[in-house]
Amino acid sequence: MTEPNMNYANLKDSYLFFGIAQKVKKYSEINPDKKILRLGIGDVSLPLCKSVISALTEGVSDQAEKSSFHGYMPECGAPFLRTTIAEFYRKRGVKVADDEVFISSGASDELGDILDLFDKDNSALVIEPAYPAYVDANVIAGRKIIHLASSLDNGFTPEPDEDKLADIIYICSPNNPTGAVFTKEKLKKWVDFANAHGSIILFDAAYEAFIEDDSVPHSIFEIDGAESCAIEVCSLSKTAGFTGTRLGYTVIPKALVRNGMSFNAMWIRNRTTKTNGVSYIIQKGGAAVFTEQGQKEIKENIAYYKENAKVLMRVLDECKIEYTGGKNAPYIWLKCPNNLGSWEFFDLLLDKIQVVGTPGEGFGSCGEGYFRFSTFGSREDTLHAAERLKDLFGNL
Ligand code: PLP
């Protein structure tokens, strides 16, 4: 008999988003006249910018002519896009070679696939609250997972702990769900820790474009020593609205070597076996994000989401609700008032003011008592939600 991967039996049900959807559905059925404002989703609401659309359209036209038609694309990414992205790093003062950049179909795909590079007996450290895929991908692979809880006391950016050693270390900055960012000093501690123990950091920079503090690193490779202990996974999903278009990139330095094995060379071998590259049209569209005009346009979209964040932060400040995020990230992570549990607060918001957010408990047990608002919704919904929240907090 075929033996299935029994690790799937160890996965917790994806209760979070399913649970939210069920509760919202039930509420809407009972109250069809009530307008529900959704601040729960991590998906963008603005369309792709003009430069990207023009490049995508050009890409389609290229595929219509024999002279400009592209068949299979190089497995690790189109040279034009790898160079463009490496240049983007170099302009920011970060040394990255063209062949250290790999093009992907997005960060989720990559975060799962990249685990192929690690021995199955490697352990993984997850700083929680965390994006749930880090835990789930390692449960599927049967790895030992070490949970490191963070809290408001350390601004949700804990320092390494000698009692919590692991082979693979996940760091997400700006963080989903807490919106917290790791400073250069804190990241340096993690880089030194990883180098001292031979660990590898998987640095998730999916939200780097939302950083507005000049002192906060956009890339782990801004930190000395990171080239020998880190892989950086990036995405155009939130940066440029590619959630449904799909494009990401990953940086694997050639200096990243363990046991005589180069992770860069292993990833080339992996990609040439497991993919036939990302679509030419999409890579063409992605390259437009890095042009001067493309950068201007995506920044306008990001500014729109940041204005949403300000609307919500204003209410939280006025009502003296503790929170992190909003400034360098598209998420606001707040302490539920009156010591309510995450799901209790969820029910309260849905019942009283028809605002939907994400209960913190879904991001790990230390997220209990917290709640996440996304700033990716429409301005109109965010403004209405802010008014309703203000009324509710005033009456608690
Ligand atoms: N990493 C984090 C922290 C995320 O929040 C998300 C998506 O929400 C992803 C990765 C996945 O992004 P992508 O759309 O590129 O798969």
Give the 3-state secondary structure of 30-72: HCCCCCCEECCCCCCCCCCCHHHHHHHHHHHHHCCCCCCCCCC
Q: Output the pLDDT for position 396.
A: 83
Torsions phi, psi of 97, nearest 5? -85, 155
Q: Which residue has the tokens 């660990």?
A: 199
Ligand 1 atom 12, closest CA: 107
SS3 273: helix
DSSP symbols for 159-174: PP-TTS--SEEEEESS
Q: Could you tell me the two tokens for 384?
A: 């209405």
Contacts 24+ apart (CB under 8 A), 119-125: 119/167, 122/166, 122/167, 122/168, 123/165, 123/166, 123/167, 123/168, 124/166, 124/167, 124/168, 124/169, 124/170, 125/164, 125/165, 125/166, 125/168, 125/169, 125/170, 125/199
Q: Which atom of ligand 1 is nearest to the CA of 175?
A: 3
- Calculate how far, in angstroms, residue 68's C-alpha sits from the geometric centre of ligand 1: 33
* 181 band by pLDDT with thresholds 50, 70 and 90: very high
Strands 230-235 and 248-251: antiparallel
* 386 band by pLDDT with thresholds 50, 70 and 90: very high
- Calculate how far, in angstroms, residue 259's C-alpha sits from the geometric centre of ligand 1: 30
- Calculate how far, in angstroms, residue 396's C-alpha sits from the geometric centre of ligand 1: 34
Q: Which atom of ligand 1 is nearest to the CA of 111?
A: 10
On the question of pLDDT at 42 being above 90, the answer is no
Q: Could you tell me the two tokens for 119?
A: 């021995």
| High-pLDDT (> 70) share of the chain, % | 100
199-239 pLDDT per residue, tens: 999 999 999 999 999 999 999 999 999 999 999 999 999 99
Distance CA 316, CA 114 (A): 39
- Calculate how far, in angstroms, residue 248's C-alpha sits from the geometric centre of ligand 1: 10
Q: Could you tell me the two tokens for 251?
A: 């940086």
Strands 355-356 and 37-38: parallel
Q: Which atom of ligand 1 is nearest to the CA of 108?
A: 16
Torsions phi, psi of 309, nearest 5? -60, -40
101-155 pLDDT per residue, tens: 999 999 999 999 999 999 999 999 999 999 999 999 999 999 999 999 999 999 9
- Domains of the chain (ranges, CATH numbers): 8-38+294-394 (3.90.1150.10), 50-292 (3.40.640.10)
- Please choose from 48, 176, 242 the residue to mutate so as to test ligand 1's pocket, defined by most ligand atoms within 8 A of CB: 176
- Calculate how far, in angstroms, residue 204's C-alpha sits from the geometric centre of ligand 1: 8
- Calculate how far, in angstroms, residue 234's C-alpha sits from the geometric centre of ligand 1: 8
Q: Which atom of ligand 1 is nearest to the CA of 242?
A: 14
29 Cβ neighbours under 8 A, 6+ residues apart: none
Distance CA 321, CA 394 (A): 11
Distance CA 138, CA 143 (A): 5
* 14 band by pLDDT with thresholds 50, 70 and 90: confident
- Calculate how far, in angstroms, residue 141's C-alpha sits from the geometric centre of ligand 1: 19
Distance CA 388, CA 385 (A): 5
Torsions phi, psi of 90, nearest 5? -65, -35
On the question of pLDDT at 318 being above 80, the answer is yes
Q: Could you tell me the two tokens for 222?
A: 């801004």
* 41 band by pLDDT with thresholds 50, 70 and 90: confident
- Please choose from 17, 104, 131, 374 the residue to mutate so as to test ligand 1's pocket, defined by most ligand atoms within 8 A of CB: 131
